[in-house]
Amino acid sequence: MCASGRAVLSRVLMSPRKILAPLALAQFICSFAGSNMNVMINDISEDLDTTVAGVQVTITLFLLIMAILMIPCSKLTDRWGRKRCFIGGLVLYGIGALMSAVSPSLGVLILGNSVLEGVGTAFLIPPVYILTTLAFSDLTSRARAFGVISGLGGIGAAAGPLIGGVITEAISWRAAFIFQAAVIVVIILLSRRVVDPLPPDPTRPFDAVGAILSAVGMFFVVFGILQADNDPALFAALLAVGAVLLASFFLYIRSREKAGREALLSMSLFKNRTSNLALVTQNIQWLLLLGTSFVVAVFLQTVRGYNAIETGVIFTAATLGVLVSSLAAERLAKRYSQKSLIAAGFVVAAAGIGVLLALVGASSRVVAFAPGLALIGLGLGVMLTPSVNVVQSSFPEERQGEISGLSRSVSNLGSSFGTAIAGTILVSDLASGNTTYVLAMVVLGAFALVGLVASLLLPAADVTVS
């Protein structure tokens, strides 16, 4: 049987609706992990004798490791098989969660949470999007599936502070990692029904040099941002080194392609204008979501003196916002173009940031943060699915491994940027009260406007799901 015939047969045997649950749940727990620690900062700092900046580094490194390994791991799915990488990533993630739960120091927490959970996520997330794209062949069903996955991802990130806060106050911050490990076990059990639609190709070449150049380049850029407040000279030096390494990466893969060899990332992926603009919107969406989550959570705990559960409860507004707009995603996709939904999402999110800025000085009550967070949740929920669908649907099935890795890398890089940039601004002078909070939110608002511009530049002939 030919490859296309095997793919069609496997798609039928795979029963798309049955595999959606473990895939969507996997995206939920990985997004949850990126934000739930925000409300545990005081508890972790006291327990492990560290600082807010130390916990920020842990969170940012988790998001960064996901980003820098997402492309290499997506390429390895073709070589090792999508289901094998998915299960392997889940196991690695679970081990990291358990190690984090018993960590006696910040170093062990970084190894468990940032490294093992980060690497595990980089392996398991590309198969989520590749398997979904291959299992749901028509645009309508694919949009619906991406809506479920992206919606649960957004809910996981938005609900992370609430769930993490409840667990931390009721039991301990360590129990939140036990919760993650338990969810991983459930996903592995549900994944028994997942069938890889295409056989692995062990002979598929892997560009190790390209993987190293891209990973180290992105690491230096984000790590440099984290040093902006501590050492401006080091900040500039690290950014310069990162920029040189990334430039070298693009020159390297271009020369490798010209020589007729397979590169880590094909330059042709960047020739699709629609996909490029949608990738920008993806990056900024996650920058806003994780950046806002970190800034508001840290501000409420360190400046306003709220505990983990009080901080987490206020994020219910953002969770409900994401949930409401995600549930309406399919209906909205039938009535409006994806371009319109992405643009509207940025407008609503920017309005939410404006409300957060307006009310921070007007009221000291925690409820003053609810309207702004609700708007941000609504806006992000509206545009998460369209952005993913525009990117994934811009390329044929045989290129889904590449574009899925690039898409997830760009999104997770946005998450790490949000925590690093906005978080560094906030942490630079927590004693100033509202000052650094306002500055951090203004910067996030500026990024929202950049995202809006990118969405408006999307082609007018954007696809409308029917």
Q: What is the pLDDT of residues 290-338, one digit of tens each?
A: 899 889 988 888 888 888 888 888 888 888 888 888 777 777 877 888 8
Whether 7 is covered by a domain: the verdict is no
pLDDT of residue 431: 66
Query: Could you tell me if 359 and 370 lie in one domain?
Result: yes
* Residue 231 neighbours by CB under 8 Å, 6+ apart: none
Whether 298 is covered by a domain: the verdict is yes
Per the CB < 8 A criterion, the answer to whether 106 and 430 are in contact is no
**Top-ranked range on mean pLDDT: pick from 50-64, 77-91, 307-321:** 77-91
pLDDT of residue 4: 47
Q: Which tokens belong to 306? A: 């709220």
Tell me 115's DSSP state. I
Per the CB < 8 A criterion, the answer to whether 445 and 265 are in contact is no
User: pLDDT by residue (tens digit) across 122-173?
Assistant: 999 888 888 887 787 766 677 778 778 877 887 888 788 889 889 998 999 9
| Counted domains in the chain | 2
pLDDT of residue 2: 47
Per the CB < 8 A criterion, the answer to whether 345 and 451 are in contact is no
pLDDT of residue 1: 41
234: how many CB neighbours lie within 10 A of its CB? 13
Percent of the chain past pLDDT 90, that is, above it, reads 35
CA distances from 374 to 349, 352, 362, 366 (A): 9, 7, 18, 13
Query: Could you tell me if 198 and 222 lie in one domain?
Result: no
Query: Could you tell me if 325 and 434 lie in one domain?
Result: yes
pLDDT of residue 145: 82
Q: CA–CA separation, 309 vs 170, rounded Å?
A: 9
Is residue 457 helix, strand or coil? coil
Q: Which of 45, 57, 109 is nearest to 302 (CA)?
A: 45
pLDDT of residue 15: 60
Q: Which of 334, 372, 328 is nearest to 351 (CA)?
A: 372
Query: Could you tell me if 189 and 314 lie in one domain?
Result: yes
pLDDT of residue 463 exceeding 50: no
Whether 202 is covered by a domain: the verdict is yes
pLDDT of residue 377 exceeding 70: yes
pLDDT of residue 14: 52
Q: CA–CA separation, 391 vs 384, rounded Å?
A: 11
pLDDT of residue 205: 84
Which of 244, 263, 282 is a domain's end point? 263
DSSP string, 324-364: HHHHTHHHHHHHS-HHHHHHHHHHHHHHHHHHHHHHHTT--
pLDDT, mean of residues 103-118: 94
Higher per-residue confidence, 115 vs 314: 115
Q: pLDDT class for 11, splitting at 50, 70, 90?
A: very low
Query: Could you tell me if 113 and 254 lie in one domain?
Result: no
Query: Could you tell me if 243 and 186 lie in one domain?
Result: no
Amino acid (1-letter code) at residue 127: P
Q: Which tokens belong to 85? A: 């990488």
Query: Could you tell me if 222 and 201 lie in one domain?
Result: no
Q: Which of 33, 11, 15 is nearest to 89 (CA)?
A: 33
Whether 151 is covered by a domain: the verdict is yes
Q: CA–CA separation, 152 vs 146, rounded Å?
A: 10
Query: Could you tell me if 199 and 256 lie in one domain?
Result: no
Query: Could you tell me if 138 and 246 lie in one domain?
Result: no
Query: Domain range for residue 165?
Result: 14-206+264-456
Q: pLDDT class for 23, splitting at 50, 70, 90?
A: very high
Which of 263, 282, 311 is a domain's end point? 263
Q: Which tokens belong to 301? A: 């705990």
pLDDT, mean of residues 224-249: 87
Q: CA–CA separation, 7 vs 134, rounded Å?
A: 8
Whether 278 is covered by a domain: the verdict is yes
Q: Which of 143, 157, 176, 230 is nearest to 466 (CA)?
A: 143
With 0.85 as the threshold, say if the pTM is over it: no
Q: Which of 262, 195, 261 is nearest to 398 (CA)?
A: 262
Residues 54-78 as b or e (16 or more Cβ within 10 Å = b): bbbbbbbbbbbbbbbbbbbbbbbbb
Query: Could you tell me if 285 and 408 lie in one domain?
Result: yes
Whether 131 is covered by a domain: the verdict is yes
Q: Which of 406, 412, 404 is nearest to 134 (CA)?
A: 404
* Sign of the dihedral defined by the CA atoms of residues 186, 161, 119, 194, in that order: positive
Which of 263, 286, 308 is a domain's end point? 263
Is residue 253 helix, strand or coil? helix
pLDDT of residue 370 exceeding 70: yes
Q: Residue 450 burial by CB count (10 A; 0-12/13-18/19+): exposed, middle or buried?
A: middle
**Top-ranked range on mean pLDDT: pick from 14-23, 168-177, 378-387:** 168-177
Is residue 136 helix, strand or coil? coil
User: pLDDT by residue (tens digit) across 188-215?
Assistant: 999 987 888 778 888 888 889 999 999 8
pLDDT, mean of residues 338-356: 94
Whether 68 is covered by a domain: the verdict is yes
CATH code of 118's domain: 1.20.1250.20
Q: pLDDT class for 364, splitting at 50, 70, 90?
A: low
Higher per-residue confidence, 263 vs 355: 355
Q: CA–CA separation, 442 vs 357, rounded Å?
A: 8
Query: Could you tell me if 215 and 308 lie in one domain?
Result: no
Query: Could you tell me if 92 and 217 lie in one domain?
Result: no
Whether 301 is covered by a domain: the verdict is yes
